Chain A
Amino acid sequence: DTAVSQTPKYLVTQMGNDKSIKCEQNLGHDTMYWYKQDSKKFLKIMFSYNNKELIINETVPNRFSPKSPDKAHLNLHINSLELGDSAVYFCASSPQGMTYNSPLHFGNGTRLTVT
């Protein structure tokens, strides 16, 4: 009964490939997010969707494309992978993304390694 689940947990791939990471939440939350955590543990928001609508789109290369088929799912597709994309990617959700003090619930992360 995992609340926010991501797949895969580990992803090793070569430069230039295209890959996807999937995320699902069963909390009934309206808002979902993608965060990137680099090797120094620094976390930065990438995208946020509220009820399938994109509401936050940080300065991220357009090789990264999020897709939200419904409010319980937010997938991340990455084209033409580069070495610098190696990181841990976290999916998260919150009850009310349109307000500013709604705590986030995180998945366990996907460790992406690009060789």
Chain B
Amino acid sequence: GDSVTQMEGPVTLSEEAFLTINCTYTATGYPSLFWYVQYPGEGLQLLLKATKADDKGSNKGFEATYRKETTSFHLEKGSVQVSDSAVYFCALSSAGGYNKLIFGAGTRLAVHP
């Protein structure tokens, strides 16, 4: 079945460091790919998405490119801030079915001053 694998956390960075969170997926066909962010005590919020190969999703300085050849959707940010500390979830939704999001296990990011 479809699945999403994310790098294990926690990821601990200093402010202004470069961030990469790896995400790879297994799916039949061409899924849509998403990154969601969960701040402490809150629900998940959509961060960015890409719906076809080579699409780049971007938002708030974060970006991720849909790579079909490597089945990856890595999240990057050039300079993280303390306020980016959260749990980040990679997710996919497969074509041909209902809108059923399958999530990775989540990666906790901690940014310190």
Contact = CB atoms under 8 A, between A and B. Distances in A.
Contact of B43 (A31, A94, A107): A107
Contacts, number: 70
Contacts of B93: 100-101
Given A42-B106, A43-B89, A101-B51, A94 B44 contact: no
Interface stretch (B15-23, B73-81, B96-104): B96-104
- Most chain B CB inside 10 Å of its own CB: which residue of A50, A99, A104: A104
Contacts of B103: 42-44
Contacts of B71: none
B: interface residue count bin = 20 to 34
Interface residues of A, number: 29
Given A100-B94, A108-B41, A45 B106 contact: no
A103 B34 contact: yes
Contacts of B44: 43, 90, 92, 104, 106
Interface of B: 31-32, 34, 38, 41-46, 49, 51, 87, 89, 93-103, 105-106, 108
Interface of A: 4, 31, 40-45, 48, 50, 55-56, 90, 92, 94, 96-109
